[in-house]
Amino acid sequence: MRRVARWVLLLGFASTLLIVTQVLLDLSVFIGSENVLKAHFLDPQDLDNPARPPWPSPHGTTEPESSLGNVSQANDVPCSPSERITRLIHQTFKTTEIPQRWRAAQQSCQDLHRENWTYILWTDSAAEKFLEENYPWSLPRYRRYPYAIQRVDMVRYFILYHFGGIYLDLDVGCKKELSPLLKYSALLPKTSPLGVSNDVMAGSMHHPFFGKVIHGLKTNVFDWSPKYLAVLFSTGPMFLTGQVLRFWRRQDEQNTNIISNDEENEKDIKTNTETNVDKSSGYSNPPPPPQTPCYRPNEEEVHIIPPHLYGSNTDSFFSHYPGSSWHGNDANAVKFLVGHRAWFVLLGMVGMVVGTGVVVVWVVRRRRWRSRGGEGKNGFGVGLGLGIGSHRL
């Protein structure tokens, strides 16, 4: 029995090292792409003269509601020809009862955006109903995610793709009005130590980048890994970083509209796919993009908000409140992995050697046991041929 325990521990150790090695291999792509992100930083000088809408919003900032009655207002928000991003602020929470530690952050954004802006708080029930009514093919994947944070990540991408606007996590406050950012068609913030974050995002209605993001959700599952890594790479910041790097690379390769002119990707977004559509559930295509000033099919740019405009600097647009452990944890974990990547790569290589040795020993001992007349029915230990004779467990 002790021998079995040793082998089980050894297998677990080897498997953990293999997972860490895989994560480091994924991170290596992002480590080498920091200059690419910097090349897409928005120019702060362009923010000096923000465009203003020629007409006010018919709704203004609204109080959070738990129903979808408030969401209909998003379809009526007017767009200025000089602004690409809709004057919508989206936030999400499971209910309308916002925890006390985040109310100041939420209020700071509402106070600065009462005139000519519309605010929507998406509860879990409202978000699922939105997907059900507009993107029913996404529901199987949405409901299959094992962790709530994955579903929250997923729905924020669909909301931005469908309505446009600015998404903010509840622990992100506003230090000044965000209207200077509306002249860009899509924005992601540069985060430390590498990649982009998904706690602040902005985009025009039906922006092709967010179309690519919701398309990419079906293939980035990571169901096999621990919870933290599963979220980070399936729907979280590392997933989003990979998506924007691929988006830019595809732009360089094709120099065409990623969604409108790519028939295969358009089909994946608007028709059944093997991984995120239940063909027996009754599928219907999402509505075509509305032909309004908010929708500009030929604008594909994705700009990066530099750290001094996203972090805690004096000229930043945002303030970051304590209380949300998720982003702090992912930053700390990535920093640790990157800072010790040489050791982890070495341990990963050792793990692969050890894992290979375990398989070889298992095969050899199983063959020897069979050659001695074993029938392979004596239980876990004998079936694995781990040298415990004919003992039954």
Which residue has better confidence, 282 or 341? 341
Amino acid making up residue 35: N
Which of 135-139, 172-176, 216-220 has the lowest average pLDDT?
216-220
Q: What string of H, E and C letters represents the secondary structure of 222-239?
A: CCCCCHHHHHHHHCCHHH
pLDDT at 365 over 60: yes
The two tokens of residue 20 are: 């860490």
Q: pLDDT grade, residue 156 (50/70/90)?
A: very high
* Continuous segment of H or E residues that includes residue 119: strand 118-122
- In degrees rounded to 5, what are phi and psi of residue 174? -115, 130
Q: Are 88 and 301 in contact (CB under 8 A)?
A: no
pLDDT at 74 over 70: no
Q: pLDDT over 70 for what percent of the chain? A: 56
pLDDT per position as a tens digit, 58-69: 444 444 333 343
CA–CA gap between residue 176 and residue 153 (Å, rounded): 25
pLDDT at 166 over 90: yes
What local confidence, expressed as pLDDT, does residue 227 receive?
77
In this prediction, residues 155-182 reach a mean pLDDT of 95
Whether pTM > 0.85 for this model: the answer is no
pLDDT at 103 over 90: yes
Q: Are 106 and 170 in contact (CB under 8 A)?
A: yes
Which of 216-230, 236-250, 272-286 has the lowest average pLDDT?
272-286
Indicate the domain borders of the chain.
Answer: 1-31+341-393, 34-339
Which of 169-183, 193-207, 291-305 has the lowest average pLDDT?
291-305
pLDDT per position as a tens digit, 247-264: 998 887 766 444 444 445
In this prediction, residues 79-92 reach a mean pLDDT of 85
What local confidence, expressed as pLDDT, does residue 283 receive?
29
Which of 77-81, 274-278, 351-355 has the lowest average pLDDT?
274-278
- For the chain, the distance separating the N- and C-terminal CA atoms, rounded to the nearest angstrom, is 8
pLDDT at 302 over 70: yes
Q: Which residues contact 156 (CB under 8 A, 6 or more apart)?
A: 90, 92, 167, 198, 201
In this prediction, residues 273-277 reach a mean pLDDT of 36
Q: pLDDT grade, residue 9 (50/70/90)?
A: low
Query: How many CA atoms are closer than 13 Å to the CA of 376, on its beta-carbon side?
Result: 8
pLDDT at 49 over 90: no
pLDDT at 176 over 60: yes
Q: Classify domain 34-339 by CATH number.
A: 3.90.550
In this prediction, residues 261-269 reach a mean pLDDT of 49
| C-beta neighbour count of 218 within 10 angstroms | 18
Which residue has better confidence, 325 or 370? 370
pLDDT at 108 over 80: yes
Supply the DSSP string of 294-351, one letter for each residue. T--TT----EEE-HHHHSSSTT-SEEE-TT-HHHHHHHHHHHHHHHTHHHHHHHHHHH
